Homo-oligomer: A and B are copies of this chain.
Amino acid sequence: MLGVCYYPEHWPEPWWAEDAAAMRDLGITYVRIGEFAWSRMEPASGTYEWGWLDRAIDVLGAAGLKVVLCTPTATPPQWLIDTYPGILPVDRNGRTRGFGSRRHYSTSSPDWLRETRRIVTLMAERYGAHPAVAGWQTDNEFGCHDTTVSYGPHDLAAFRDWLRRRYQTPEALNEAWGNVFWSMEASGFDSVPLPVGAVTETNPAARLDYQRFASAQMAAYNRLQVEIIRRHSPGRFVTHNFMAFFQAFDHFAVAEPLDFASWDSYPLGALEVSSLPETERLRWAETSHPDIPAFNHDLYRAVGRGRFWLMEHQPGPVNWAPWNPVPAAGVVRLWSWQCFAHGAEVLSYFRWRQAPFAQEQMHAGLHLPDRSRSPGGEEAAQVARELAALGPLPPMTQAPVAIVIDYEAAWIAQIQPQGRDFRYFDLVFQWYGALRRLGVDVDIVQSGAVLDGYRLIAVPTLPYVSDAALAALREADGFILFGPRTGSKTRDFEIPSSLPPGPVQELLPLRIRQVGSLRPGLTHAIIGEGVAGEAVRWREWLETELPAGLTFGDGTKALVGDGRQHYLAAWTDDGLLIEVMARLLGQAGLPVMRLPEGVRLQRRGRLTFAFNFSGEAWEAPCVETAHFRIGGRTVPPRGVSCWD
């Protein structure tokens, strides 16, 4: 089903009913509203103006549209900040981040928590039972603009409380962090400093705990809102709109009280700000890289425990990336179908009409400021027609392959990359892409979750292997491939006393004696039967009796394993990784189809989708009897086909 983001407060009231009718005509079911409208709900402290919102919801409901109502906490109004300036977040340099845009709050501010409770309660009480309100979105894009973490006095106080609960005594904290190292020992919790602003780098264990704390604060803040809404709005769903590749908090923890996850897909913007090399950012500039949306769909399907929406979706050029090209013709439709193929329940475009004013005026909508339909709007209309023709989509089934991920792994790599380009999501994305180039569907699985039924389990890296994660891996019945740095840290950010891979030694008897990061251009050759490639970015020196599937040029082992479990002691080039995956998929009895760089397949139940992000047509090698629901055997450039 389709949805759209709408801002009644931006338009003359007479337009609302016309817009609602046009939404129906286009095929829209859900309309998200309200997330930035606090200053219109409460223009001054205690002065409420609910009338316009009452009428807006009524108008939309009257048109048969379902409303997704948002709490407006992403934009505390000016009078509130003037009254409680301590709400403002503080950056790592100690500078207050001021009013004038959005997300200007710290989740550790007691004033802010009280004000949040107040406004969310008022909204939930007023609209919780409104028949047009189908569900809720909490706040908007938690953490956006680097707002997960704040470094103000409220944050420090809350961090110290969090430490007190975690460690009980300063001695335990000093021991866990290894504070003896540079005489950093704290005499009490109230002496623990912020892990920023020191002469040189601060203790990585302290930084990891600060990130854990900030993530926990975010989860608590979301839960606070969810609980109020649930109290007053029975039978309605609650979700939150997350962002592509965002890693500053544990999305599994934040999403825990939600009914499902949502995420906001801006494929071109996400490409522009990605860490892909310039050549790749140029190559895919007008289509995005095929795996950028796909990976995030699979990720948020996991975060949503199988259920996810696209709450915002790019309908044309955006405004916030360094460069903002127009999507190539057909690509808005291509992306849209990719959402559904990966299991999206609802795809909601951002936004109904381009705002001609303020920060996002260069962000396209389904309509132009003159109320005419935009090129992206035309493609959305085509998607609506095709959706209607296709009928209800079948449910997703479990993929044959799992990639195990963990947000703490991202934080650990960020805190201690050891090589400047060792980025967690780069590695995960590379592994994901290698599997997708081989035509297999992939589920993302949270570290520690059961892995039953997966034929191949890929663990790109998992520095800290928790007891739960180890148990799940021990009990898995599929092949497992571990990547470098797995098991290289304890919960307290220490090197395991048995050396890496620490607890994984139970499954694979080996020790890592040395690790080296490799600057761009510095590579180590890797060879195996019929394959050759190289280590890039990272290489390890193994000591093990396990047999080697690949060896480094100097004769030491690069890929080792015995039976089902394997360890890859390097970050490799893309081609070699694809070969490694192909071999393992073959051993796991899974069929492999080598796809061109711009083509991807995805199954949803009985349906198979093919997406062609490239400029050349592609012949789908499907069975003669395939029944095409969209397109045909020849998938044109920027085209999509679907068959069963």
> Within 8 Å CB of A356, what residues of B?
178, 494-497
Question: Quick check: B516 and A317 within 8 Å, CB to CB?
Answer: yes
| Chain B CB within 8 A of A571 CB | no
Partner of A362, one of B43, B200, B416: B416
Partner of A325, one of B416, B493, B518: B518
Which of A124-132, A247-255, A366-374, A454-462 has 4 or more CB atoms under 8 Å from chain B? A366-374
| Chain B CB within 8 A of A521 CB | yes
Knowing A187-B79, A368-B499, A497-B356, say if A103 contacts B199 (CB, 8 Å).
yes
Knowing A200-B101, A282-B522, say if A358 contacts B181 (CB, 8 Å).
yes
Question: Quick check: B317 and A101 within 8 Å, CB to CB?
Answer: no
- Interface size in chain A (residues, C-beta < 8 A): 114
CB distance from A571 to the nearest CB of B (A): 12
Q: Give residues of chain A (381-419) contacting chain B, Cβ–Cβ below 8 Å.
A: 416, 418-419
Q: Name A's interface SS.
A: loop
Partner of A40, one of B72, B183, B202: B183
Q: Give residues of chain A (245-282) contacting chain B, Cβ–Cβ below 8 Å.
A: 272, 281-282
| Chain B CB within 8 A of A355 CB | yes
CB distance from A201 to the nearest CB of B (A): 6
> Within 8 Å CB of A147, what residues of B?
199
Question: Quick check: B418 and A319 within 8 Å, CB to CB?
Answer: yes
Which of A19-27, A92-100, A232-240, A558-566 has 4 or more CB atoms under 8 Å from chain B? A92-100
Q: Mark A67-89, 1 if CB is under 8 A from B, else 0.
A: 00000100111110010000001
> Within 8 Å CB of A94, what residues of B?
95
> Within 8 Å CB of A145, what residues of B?
199-200
> Within 8 Å CB of A43, what residues of B?
185, 187
Q: In the complex, what distance in Å separates the CA atom of A43 from the CA atom of B171?
A: 12
Question: Quick check: A181 and B355 within 8 Å, CB to CB?
Answer: yes
Q: Give residues of chain A (186-216) contacting chain B, Cβ–Cβ below 8 Å.
A: 186-187, 191, 193-206
Q: In the complex, what distance in Å separates the CA atom of A99 from the CA atom of B329?
A: 55
Write the chain B residue with the least CB distance to A88. B199
CB distance from A202 to the nearest CB of B (A): 4
